[in-house]
Amino acid sequence: MKVPLLRGLAPCAAAGVLAAALSGCTMGLASPAVVAGDFDRAISSGDFSTACSLLTPAAVQEVETGSGEDCESALESLGVPAGGAVVHVEAWGRAAIAEMEQDTLFLARTGETWAVRAAGCTPVPEAPYDCIVTGG
């Protein structure tokens, strides 16, 4: 699935996100950077159960429907790459992007937390990202 590159984050919004992250003001939520790091550690260590628990419900459904397997088996088969360290995060509203050393994750607020909605994403010049795992 192609995920559009999210552009045009207003400088004031970016400053607000940065200020909130630096102040520790997360309104009780783990930050997108924390969730991205947790997801990467789970994928890297082969803990696909934990990785699945960090996906949005739509991403879990898409992974299972597309593969005909349970989420854990499907993630293992899909070969989502280890991303490495989180190098940049932008969040606005209920959406976030976490750029890692070797992967890009898209996240969404789901209820009281952040969850991964797309992983294994690579940019495509002049087009949206191409992602291994997707979910509305």
pLDDT digits (tens, 9 = 90+) for 60-84: 999 999 889 999 999 999 999 899 9
Average pLDDT over residues 10-15: 38
Name every residue whose Cβ is closer than 8 Å to that of residue 125 and which is 6 or more positions away in sequence: none
- Measure Cα distances from 121 to 17, 32, 79, 132, 133 in Å: 23, 16, 12, 6, 8
Sheet holding 95-100, edge to edge: 2-3, 127-133, 113-124, 104-110, 95-100, 86-92
Over residues 24-68, the pLDDT tens digits come to 344 456 899 999 999 999 999 999 999 999 999 999 999 999 889
Q: What is the pLDDT of residue 136?
A: 67
Q: What is the pLDDT of residue 48?
A: 96
Over residues 82-129, the pLDDT tens digits come to 999 999 999 999 999 999 999 999 999 988 899 999 999 998 998 889
